Structure formats: C-alpha cells, structure tokens
Structure 1
C-alpha cells in the first residue's frame, strides 16, 4: 500500500512522511473516543479535534470524494492535489497583489491574526492518499472560509464557520465543534447563534458553491467582492 501511495504522491510527500496508519479498528475507536474527550477538555488544542476528525470521517470523506470526482474543478483538484503552504504558494507574491484582490486580502487576514499557513497540522492517520489529501485540503482552505464569511477567530465566529462546514461536508469533527462549542458561549451568544448565526451559515452553505470544488488559488488575483458574489451564488 505504501508503494501505491508514493507513486501517487505529487505534492503530498509531507503527508507520506508523516504517515502513521492505525493498526486496527480497535485503535481507531480508541483514538476517536480519547480525542473527542480531550477535545472537550482542552478545546484550545486543535490537535485533538484534528485527530478525531481523521479517525471518524472515513465515510464522509468518501462522499466528498465522489462529489469532487463528479465536478470538473473538483476532479482537477484531486488529480493535481494543490496545497496552501510553502513552497506551493508564494505568500510574498500575494502580499504584492492589489489591495482589492482575494489573495491580498487573504494574506493580510492571516498576517493580522499572526496565523501561518504552514503551521496547519498534517494528516497522518488516513491510509488512503486521496482521502488524506481531501482532509488536508479541507484544513488548508479553512482560513479561506473565515475570510469569505467575514469571520474572525473568536469562539462564536469559529462555531459559525464550523456550522457552515458541517452543512456542506458532514465531517464528524465539524459536527462535534458545532454541537459542543456553544457550551462555551454566554447565554446571549447562544440565543444569537440559534436565532441568527446558525440559520445564516446554513443558508449560505446550501446556496453557495461546494467549498471543496473551488480552486481558490486560481482566484487569488480576482477582485474579492466579485469572488465572494460568485462563491455564494448557486
């Protein structure tokens, strides 16, 4: 199996180097349980939620793969496996783009929050390279969704983004964050989420483009408002 993965590697050598397959179904269930519990106890540590997502999302990832294969852009992404990290994206070139462009506003958003794309944890427990890539791609476009949805990284806004992601992707990790995350909110924030935040995210997710079938890199030089209008259109 490893030989097959290496032949298909393309831009996924770092994932292969990080590859740590689960030894059994018992191991998978154990990791799902322990990382779910630790994710609840230590929500500031994203590694727990990431591992929980890897170990619990096999069937959801299969569904995402089918949707990508059936779409011309999604199929191209699966074939080429583009990445949102060094050296595949020149972030300094994004900083030199016009202020109105998607790429410039993305890197300004990241810089303002002191976020570094290369620091996203690598997938390591998913043995199928296509599925591993899909989960890695999902993690790497997460910041794009924050920007397109005009959301910062507060607990409330992170939950809104997770609701959007769950509505489109049905990943277990997004479900856990959407259901458990609100426990950390104030009563007023919970009411606001139920009345406005969640319904708006669900509506946007239902009417907009399927986020995994968008080649974001091809839109870096596009006007941000034009891109957002297209992204959230049927």
Structure 2
C-alpha cells in the first residue's frame, strides 16, 4: 500500500504567478515593505492582493478543485484569522512546540512503511488508509507565497498540511459533500474567509437530495464538533501516529457523523 502510494501520487505544479519572480533579497523574519521573507514568498502590494483575492475567489467558486486558487484566496484574505490562530498556538504547549519546531507533512517527511506497520485503528494507519483510498497526496498542498509574515506563512502551511488529517478525524471522503462538511468544520475552527466562502458557496453544486442531508444533518454536526473541539492546529499529529484514532476523537470531542458519507 505504501509503495503504491509513492508510485501513483504526484504533486501538482506550483501556481505560476503572473506577477513574476520575487526580488533576490535576504530572508527576514518579519515584513519590511517588499522584502522576501521566506524562499517561496512573493511580495505583493495591497492592490495586488485585492486583485489576487478577487480572481482566485472567482476561479475557486467556478472550480472548487482548483486547490492553487483556493490557496491564493486563503493567503490574500486570511491575515487577521491567521494571527488569531498563531496566538492560539502560542498559548498551547503542544501548539507552541509545533511553532518552534516547524514540522512538515509530505511524502518526503512521512515514513510510509512505518505508518503501514502501526496497529489497526491507529491515527497513522488510518491516515495512510485515507490517502490510499482517496488517491490523494500531502504533496498536493501548494507552498505559501503571498503571506507577508514568515510565522503566519507557516501557520497557513500547517493548516493546509493537516487538512487530510481533518478528513481522517471526521471520517469524511474527498467527494464534494465530504469536502463541504470539512469546510464547515474548518470555518468554525479557523475563521479563515476562504473556509467560510467554501462552506457557504460549495453546496450550490449539490443535488437537492444531498443538499437536504447537508443542511439538516451534516452542517449542524460539523458546526457542533468545530465549536467543541480545541484548535486542531495544536495537535502534534506526527507525535501521535500510534494513538488510536478513536481515542484522539474522544480527546477532541469529535463524534461520529450522523450518516455515512460515501
């Protein structure tokens, strides 16, 4: 299973920004005008951010599977929410450790064979099962480019890389219904505008039957769980691979979905 995942999953091509390459300037820890703050950073003016946000929002609404456009939207509209999330992480011992050590979740950092050999029902084993069943890869998460603060850039990168972990925790597949349910959970948890936008406008593509199930059962469940659970960015998942998934759900107050979403 682990070997198959390596062969079949490939990362998407990074977003090619029309703004051109960033200037060759040294790395800094905080924004000072147009300085490049981290290797992938593309400095942008407020006007450029507005234009990027508008264009990416339109494209993301037209095609929710354009993850590159969703990523740009999150980066250009999420500054205030990211500061709140960063502060929540700093106040939590596990979250503060994550901010200090900056772990990354990718095929290059995951030991797939080790995850495969974990006990049945463990977080790591179930996460690997999710990746294989849904044919997704953690490497499809685009690098942060437009966040003008190095620490906040890591926060949104971490959010992207634990997105599939949230699918695993919530028991949601990667079909459009499952993605919308996760977006409602994330909207409550993070307050990121892109999550709120996806939660409200994602359902327009659903059939009447799925829409009824979403509104009457799945959205209330996602909101309730999102409010009850502590900040999911404060979980050092890499140190909890062997923890039973059900035990982690109970720790976070996440209940079983009211219906099976296939």
Q: Tell me, yes or no, whether TM beats 0.5.
A: yes
Distance in 2, Cα, partners of 1:2 & 1:125:
17
Distance in 2, Cα, partners of 1:78 & 1:67:
11
1:201-212 equivalences under 5 Å are 201-212=222-233
Counterpart position of 2:6: none
Counterpart position of 2:42: 20
RMSD, aligned α-carbons: 1.7
Superposed CA offset, 1:124-167 (max 9, x none)? 11121110000000000000110110000111111000000000
Alpha carbons 2:182, 2:222 under 8 Å: kept: yes
How does the TM-score come out when normalised to structure 1?
0.91
Counterpart position of 2:93: 72
Q: Structure 1: where are the runs of 5+ without partners?
A: 7-14
Q: Does 221-230 or 167-176 show the bigger shift?
A: 221-230
Structure number having the greater helix percentage: 1
Q: Are 1:33 and 2:57 matched, yes or no?
A: no
Alpha carbons 2:116, 2:128 under 8 Å: kept: yes
Alpha carbons 2:60, 2:66 under 8 Å: kept: yes
Counterpart position of 1:99: 120
Distance in 1, Cα, partners of 2:132 & 2:223:
28
Distance in 2, Cα, partners of 1:230 & 1:42:
35
1:145-156 equivalences under 5 Å are 145-156=166-177
- Displacement of 1:116 in angstroms is 1.4
* Paired residue secondary structure (1:16): coil
Alpha carbons 2:29, 2:151 under 8 Å: kept: no
- Displacement of 1:2 in angstroms is 4.0
Superposed CA offset, 1:156-202 (max 9, x none)? 11100000000010001101100110101112222221111111001
Counterpart position of 1:139: 160
Counterpart position of 2:4: none
* Paired residue secondary structure (1:3): coil
Distance in 2, Cα, partners of 1:16 & 1:88:
20
Counterpart position of 1:194: 215
**Selected match of 1:44 from 54, 65, 71:** 65
Q: Does 85-94 or 117-126 show the bigger shift?
A: 85-94
* Paired residue secondary structure (1:54): helix
Counterpart position of 1:229: 250
* Paired residue secondary structure (2:28): helix
Superposed CA offset, 1:70-123 (max 9, x none)? 111111111111111143332221112122211011011101211111221111
- Displacement of 1:44 in angstroms is 2.4
How many residue pairs get aligned? The number is 224
- Displacement of 1:204 in angstroms is 0.6
Superposed CA offset, 1:27-68 (max 9, x none)? 000001011111122222111111011100001101111111
